[in-house]
Amino acid sequence: MFFRENGQFKSTYRADQQLLPILQDRVFMAGLVAFAFLVVPFVASDYLFLSLVIPFLILTLAAIGLNLLVGYCGQISIGHAAFMGVGAYAAYNLVLRLPFLNFLVVLVLAGFVAAAVGMLFGIPSLRIKGLYLGVATLAAQFFLDWVFARVKWLTNYAPSASPPPVELFGWTVDTPVRKYLFLLSVLLVFTLLAKNLVRGHIGRAWMATRDMDVAAEVIGIRPIYAKLTAFGVSSFFCGVAGALWGFVHLGAWEPLAFDLNLSLSLLFMIIIGGMGSILGAYFGAAFFVVLPILLNRIPGMLGFEMSTATASHLEVMIFGVLIVLFLALEPHGLARLWAIGKQKLRLWPFPY
């Protein structure tokens, strides 16, 4: 009833190609962004910010990055946490050694370093594909983990990296609300960037490669160009996310913070959320951040007395079951569910 698009005629290509062609979507999005910027900071508690919202924002950014590679370009990577690590350590060293740089510049530079490393480890994708490539990217994961732990220069000869608080134009990002606003802005910019990338020339090249690389080559897309840019851009996103994860979320970290589990989690987020969908990255990250904490607390909330060990065992078990369940029920992820919901809404209340 409310979600009708009749009457909205597009008379220019420009209007037809906007990000959100339907008026209701535009209103909804604007409302959501306004809500996130203007309302959330006043209602959410510190706990909510620090343990749910902030990890959610950063992981979403990383998931968008991985989704560009896996969902749009069809190249599997099980090593993206390592590229996050590259971003984090690059940012740490930039801040440490060039303290006059603005943090935003540091973020972008860290992203570029991660992109370079990502492209380097993306080279095998030219020769191998599918799961073989997935396992090959594990080489990046383990090798980079090792580099973080072993090269003393990277952590300034200390056992772990612990950077100073982030400062922007004399504004210290230290309270939960400030962290939130900062991360939200970064995420918004990168979401727009990703959204525009995938519908442009480069995104179409990625998708053609994903759908069938041999055919893509035939129609004139160079696989080297498509695959390596996908690796580069996706590592750039992850590098920025990694720097934020280290600087804003953890505050001090060790190589284990970017281990294989995080890589698998990212992959898991985009699959639950929906491959090849920017929105899916949001859903997947939310699902991944909220669910374990929720599962961990449900017994207590319902008043069950349960030992900590049993509760956490139960948590991983239910988590495992839910993964399988979701894959079986909605293989295209939560984003697809969202699309179906929207489709139904158009006909509501008179479906035919």
**What residues from 98 to 137 belong to the interface with other proteins (CB under 8 A)?**
124, 127-128, 130-132, 134-136
Gap between the Cα atoms of 295 and 316, Å rounded: 9
Q: Which stretch binds other proteins (CB under 8 A): 15-23, 138-146, 222-230, 235-243?
A: 138-146
* Contact string 4-33 vs other proteins (x = CB under 8 A): ------------------------------
> Which string of DSSP letters, residue by residue, matches 40-98?
HHHHS-HHIIIIIIHHHHHHHHHHHHHHIIIIIT----S-HHHHHHHHHHHHHHHHHH-
Among residues 116, 178, 319, 346, the one that binds other proteins under rule CB under 8 A = 319
Site string for other proteins, 64-103 (x = CB under 8 A): ------x-----x-------------------x-------
Per CB under 8 A, 320 contacts other proteins? yes
User: Judged by CB under 8 A, which stretch of 5-13, 31-39, 192-200, 327-335 contacts other proteins?
Assistant: 327-335
Please identify which residue in 260, 299, 345, 346 interacts with other proteins, judged by CB under 8 A: 260
Question: d(Cα 174, Cα 181) in Å, to the nearest integer?
Answer: 11
Residue 1 is a binding residue for other proteins (CB under 8 A)? no
> Which CA distances in Å does 161 have to 15, 103, 109, 237?
48, 17, 18, 21
Q: Does 342 bind other proteins (CB under 8 A)?
A: no
Residue 319 main-chain phi, psi, to 5 deg = -60, -45
Q: Which of 271, 278, 281, 335 binds other proteins (CB under 8 A)?
A: 271
CA distance 22 to 321: 37
Angle among Cα 61, 63, 68 to the nearest 5 degrees reads 100
User: What's at 21, amino acid-wise?
Assistant: P
Residue 271 Cβ vs other proteins, minimum distance, rounded to whole Å: 5
For residue 161, the cross-strand partners are: 253
Q: Which two tokens stand for residue 232?
A: 């580069």
- Dihedral pair phi/psi, residue 331, rounded to 5°: -60, -20
Which residue's CB is nearer to other proteins, number 227 or number 249?
Answer: 249
| 26 or 348: CB nearest other proteins | 348
151 φψ region: left (φ > 0), alpha (ψ -120 to 50), beta (else)? beta
Candidates 7-15, 20-28, 108-116, 287-295: pick the segment binding other proteins (CB under 8 A): 287-295
337 binds other proteins (CB under 8 A): yes
- The structure tokens listed for 352 are 């035919």
Residue 195: which residues within 8 A CB-CB, separation 6 or more?
Answer: 19, 278
Site string for other proteins, 291-310 (x = CB under 8 A): x-xx-xxx--x-----xxxx
**Count of residues near other proteins by CB under 8 A:** 93
Residue ranges in 172-231 that form contacts with other proteins under rule CB under 8 A? 174, 212-215, 218
